[in-house]
Each structure stands twice: as C-alpha cells, then as structure tokens.
C-alpha cells in the first residue's frame, strides 16, 4: 500500500527530522542544493540510482522513502526537532534578557551622567570605561555559559565580575590580578575545557523542559523557499549561498561576533527583504554589482555603511537593520 504524501514532502520531513539543511543533504548524496530543493518542491525526482544512498542519509528504508511505509514517527520527530531548535534559540538571548541588558547599560550611563553634574560622587579613579568593559565581559561570560557551559566560560564570567568589583574599589588593591597570575589560569581553563569535551563529547545541558544538544551552539541557519533564518552568537561565521540558489530574503540575528552573508553568486529575487538585528557584532552583506539596495537602519551606538549601488539595477532589495553597538555594511563584488 502506498501513501498519498508526495515524495518531495517525505524528503523534506525526513531531512528536517535529521536537523539537516538542503546543502548538507546534497553533500551526502553528491548532488547540488538546488536539486534537493527541486525534489522537495516536487519539480523533479531523485535518480533511481541514488535512492539507496538518499534513504541511508535520511535514516530510513527505501520503502519508507518511496511511501510504502507511513512516516508517522518521522513527523513526530520533526515536531520534536523544531521544539529543540526553538528552545536552543531561547537559551541564547531572549527578548527579556535583551531588555534587561539595555536597561543596565542605560543605568550605568545615568549614574555617570549624574556624577558629571555633581549630583552624586563616585570614587576617585572610577571611569565610565573602567566600569563598562568588565560589565560587558561578565555579560559575555553569562551568554557563553548558556551556549556552552565550560570552565573557560565560567572563568570569563568570574573575571568580568572580579574586574568590575576591583575597579569600583570593592576589592582591595592588594588583591590586584596581575598578568603573571592571569595567563597560567587561562591556560589551565582552556586545557580543562578541551579535556572535558574530549571525555564527554555528547554532553548535553538540561533544559527546563527538554534536553538541548549544544554540539553547535553558536550558529544556526535554516531556510525554506529561498528564505534564510540565521542566528549567530559569540562567533565569526560566513554563510555563502551557493551559485544559482534562489534567495528570497533573510531574518538575521547576530550578537557578539561577526557574520558575513555572501549572496554574490545567488539568484536574488527582486524585492527580497533582509531584516537584521545586530547587537555587539557586525554583519557584512556581499552582493553582486547588478543589485541595488534600499537600506533603512536604526542604530544605537552603531553604524550602517550601506551604499545603494546601482539605482537603475533590475534587481532591488530592501535592508532593514536594528544595530546596537555594532555595524552593518554592504560590499559589492
């Protein structure tokens, strides 16, 4: 008995249940990502010679791939995978955490503004920078611990807290941390982190509802119908859209790192929208010279270097940016 679900839908469900992108599946079976996209949209079918390899890559039998066996379990697994991805995103930086972080920054600014107008008096030697940079390091440590709890990320958080307390005069001067003390500690923490990951390669952090696999905690990129969802934190990443692949738009969220979105060889749809939220990081958008850009950026302590390109170009895209302590720039290649 065969089931009515199309082969393209089965391939799509199976791929998502494995947490693979179209590019990753294409690499495993030796075809292009565009070919996989055509399969999933029922524009073409896989060659019969690669069906066994495709079934193996998707973790099913050939009968299941051909629809002779129902995919009820796969659907359930797909739903669970989506839940895991959702929780993984929330564990990085929720909207509430972003709001709290912004309010803390504003609070520091207000305190030093009041000090400048002699409404309050801070201790001698306390400057805005001496408070801001250890505060940012401590915040980075917290976020890093959420993504990848390890001796190094805990040490980063504790270092930020220590320097903040020291610069505020709460920790006495005789307990000053010197470079001769710091670099051996860094080596020990890095080595211990590597050792623990070697001994426990499948370590998972326990969430409040489900387990979240942290094997790739800093970068996620998914897409359907040419639209990309990209999240990057505490890393430097490059996402290159393969030559000839349709690009219809993107939602980008990058923080504490740099992200390059390379669309130089993509098939860009006219009117595509890129919605970017950048916090303490940067986004570089690489475009072909034949594409024009209409940019609208809202920046707080950030910048947007987005030349419009050719205003008469046949393909025009829109870039909407929200930048906090970061930068968005457009490069034409």
The 10s digit of each residue's pLDDT in 300-324 is 667 788 888 888 888 999 999 888 8
The 10s digit of each residue's pLDDT in 258-303 is 889 999 888 999 989 999 988 878 899 999 988 999 988 887 667 7
pLDDT on residue 77: 40
Q: Which residues pair with 253 in a beta bridge?
A: 231, 277
Q: Are 49 and 2 in contact (CB under 8 A)?
A: no
Q: Is the pLDDT of residue 165 over 90?
A: no
Rounded to whole angstroms, the Cα distance separating 97 from 114 reads 26
The 10s digit of each residue's pLDDT in 210-244 is 233 333 344 566 667 788 888 887 777 888 888 88
pLDDT on residue 70: 59
Q: How far is CA 100 from CA 14, 114, 192, 255, 325, in A?
A: 39, 21, 32, 15, 16
Q: How far is CA 280 from the centre of its chain?
A: 13
Q: Is the pLDDT of residue 145 over 80?
A: no
The model's pTM? 0.40
Structural domains of the chain in order of their starting residue, each with its CATH number? 7-90 (1.10.260.40), 95-199 (no CATH), 219-332 (no CATH)
Rounded to whole angstroms, the Cα distance separating 306 from 261 reads 14
């Amino acid at each position: 008995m065969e089931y009515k679900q199309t082969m393209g839908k089965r391939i799509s469900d199976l791929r998502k249940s494995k947490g693979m992108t179209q590019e990753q599946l294409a690499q495993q079976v030796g075809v292009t990502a565009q070919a996989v996209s055509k399969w999933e949209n029922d524009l073409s079918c896989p060659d019969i010679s690669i069906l066994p390899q495709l079934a193996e890559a998707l973790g099913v039998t050939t009968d299941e791939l051909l629809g002779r066996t129902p995919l009820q379990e796969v659907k359930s697994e797909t739903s669970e995978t989506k839940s895991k991805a959702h929780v993984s995103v929330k564990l990085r930086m929720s909207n509430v955490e972003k709001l709290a972080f912004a309010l803390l920054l504003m609070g520091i600014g207000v305190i030093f503004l009041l000090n400048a107008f002699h409404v309050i008096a801070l201790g001698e030697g306390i400057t805005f920078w001496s408070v801001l940079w250890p505060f940012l390091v401590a915040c980075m440590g917290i976020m890093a611990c959420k993504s990848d709890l390890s001796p190094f990320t805990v040490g980063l958080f504790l270092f930020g807290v220590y320097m903040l307390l020291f610069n505020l005069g709460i920790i006495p001067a005789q307990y000053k941390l010197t470079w001769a003390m710091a670099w051996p500690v860094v080596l020990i923490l890095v080595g211990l982190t590597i050792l623990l990951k070697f001994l426990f390669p499948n370590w998972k952090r326990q969430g409040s509802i489900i387990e979240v696999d942290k094997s790739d905690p800093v970068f996620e990129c998914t897409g359907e119908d040419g639209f990309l969802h990209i999240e990057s934190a505490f890393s430097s990443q490059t996402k290159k859209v393969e030559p000839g692949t349709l690009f219809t738009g993107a939602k980008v969220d990058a923080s504490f790192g740099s992200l390059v979105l390379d669309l130089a060889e993509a098939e860009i749809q006219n009117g595509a929208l890129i919605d970017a939220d950048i916090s303490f990081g940067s986004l570089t958008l690489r475009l072909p010279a034949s594409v024009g850009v209409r940019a609208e950026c809202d920046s707080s302590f950030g910048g947007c270097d987005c030349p419009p390109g050719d205003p008469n170009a046949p393909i025009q895209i829109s870039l909407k940016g929200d930048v906090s302590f970061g930068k968005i720039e457009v490069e034409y290649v």
